[in-house]
Structures are given as C-alpha cells and as structure tokens.
C-alpha cells in the first residue's frame, strides 16, 4: 500500500506540468487509432483506457463518435486534469477511475469491456505478481469477442521512463501472458518520437478474446 502511495505521489508530481512537456506526450495517437479502427466497434462500445494520464486519445475517440469511455490512472491529479479538459472541449462527462492495475479495487467490478487500451503502462510493472494481476484483470473484465490493445516499450526500447525502471516486451511475451483465450489480430513496431526528439521503440498489439 505504501508502494502504491509513493507511486501515486510520483505520478501526481509528474503530471503537474504542461502536457507537451511530458516525455510520453503524443500529439496524434494515429498508431492506436489504426488498431481501434480494425476492431469495427459499435459507437456505444465500452472502451477502457488504462494508465490514461492526460492523453489526447480520449479527445480523438470522442471526435470519432464513441460515447462510452472510461479512463483509469493511478494519478487522480492527471485524471481530474483530463476530465476537466474533456468537459470543456467536448461537453462530455468522462467517467474516471483512480485505481491500481496491479491491485484493483474498483476496476475489477467492471463488466463487458469491449476494448482495453494500454499505451505504455504495462512496462512499469516489474514484479511477476504485478504482471499476473494486470493480465488477470484483462481476462476478467474484457468480454468474449472483446479486444485488448497494448502498446509497450519493445526489447530495444528505453530502459527507464519518468525515472522508473521498465520491463520491455515483444509480441511473443505478450502472447504468452494473455494465453490461449486471446488471438492476435494485428501487431507492428513503431518508433515514437517524444517531444524532446528522443526515439522510443514500441511494439503495438491487438488481440481479441475468443
């Protein structure tokens, strides 16, 4: 619990700056949207964006007509910033859930999630039990035929982000973690150029629960 509180403080402090000063800020979430379009979801599908921070992806999803969005982060500060911005820009009351993906209390009560989106959270979970809890949550709350979109630092990606150590992934390790109840729909490598010009190699994956 103390570890969670320390992390919450870390991320609240990290988000206390302009979005474009964040090392992971992405002006245009085109790689993620490419995979979302593949899903061909109904506009009222339940979409959960975990580790959302203050992402522009929520704005883009609303612009595309999606109406049932849930945002999760450990940082209540980031979530409130995001909620306020979305209310102002889209007059949309974004549902936010402050919760720890590795020890969830509120998230585990969600049902029938049609799309789980994670851009760059999974790689912060270094302990095996944290990774297991993360993937167990996916298996519990994503419905049959639902989708899981994970974008994470690839094996040749950065070793640290925001001062924290990372675990890096490739397609095979993600496949193994999700198990046989999920089939791969698409994957690709993408080098993200951060606001300071740094190259950040990612692997993007889209799975479907069968």
Task: Give the CATH number, domain containing residue 100.
Answer: 3.40.50.150
Look at residue 2 in the predicted model and tell me its pLDDT.
47
Tell me the mean pLDDT in the region 137-144.
97
What confidence category does residue 6 fall into, taking pLDDT thresholds of 50, 70 and 90? confident
**Are 12 and 77 a contacting pair, CB within 8 Å?**
yes
Spatial separation of the C-alpha atoms in residues 39 and 177, rounded to whole Å? 21
- Please state the length of the chain: 210
Q: How many Cα neighbours within 13 Å face the side chain of 84?
A: 6
Q: Which helix (H) or strand (E) holds 184?
A: strand 182-193
Decide if 151 contacts 82 (C-beta within 8 A): no
Domain count, the chain: 1
Could you give the percent of the chain with pLDDT greater than 90? 63
pLDDT of the residue at 93: 97
Domain extent at residue 37:
2-209
Q: In the sheet where 95-98 sits, what is the strand order? A: 95-98, 69-73, 47-50, 113-119, 142-153, 199-209, 182-193
């Amino acid at each position: 619990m103390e570890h969670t509180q320390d992390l919450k403080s870390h991320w609240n402090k990290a988000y206390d700056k302009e979005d474009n000063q964040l090392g992971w800020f992405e002006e245009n979430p085109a790689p993620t949207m490419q995979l979302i379009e593949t899903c061909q979801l109904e506009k009222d599908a339940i979409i959960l964006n975990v580790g959302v921070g203050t992402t522009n992806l929520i704005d883009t999803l609303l612009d595309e007509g999606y109406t049932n969005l849930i945002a999760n982060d450990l940082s209540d500060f980031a979530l409130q910033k995001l909620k306020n911005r979305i209310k102002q820009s889209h007059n949309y009351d974004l549902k936010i859930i402050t919760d720890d993906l590795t020890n969830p209390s509120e998230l585990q009560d969600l049902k029938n999630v049609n799309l789980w989106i994670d851009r760059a959270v999974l790689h912060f979970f270094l302990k095996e039990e944290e990774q297991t809890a993360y993937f167990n949550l996916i298996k519990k709350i994503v419905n049959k035929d639902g989708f899981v979109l994970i974008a994470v630092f690839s094996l040749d990606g950065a070793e640290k982000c925001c001062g924290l150590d990372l675990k890096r992934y490739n397609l095979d390790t993600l496949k193994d973690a999700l198990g046989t109840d999920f089939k791969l729909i698409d994957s690709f490598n993408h080098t993200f150029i951060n606001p300071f010009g740094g190259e950040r190699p990612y692997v993007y994956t889209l799975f479907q629960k069968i």
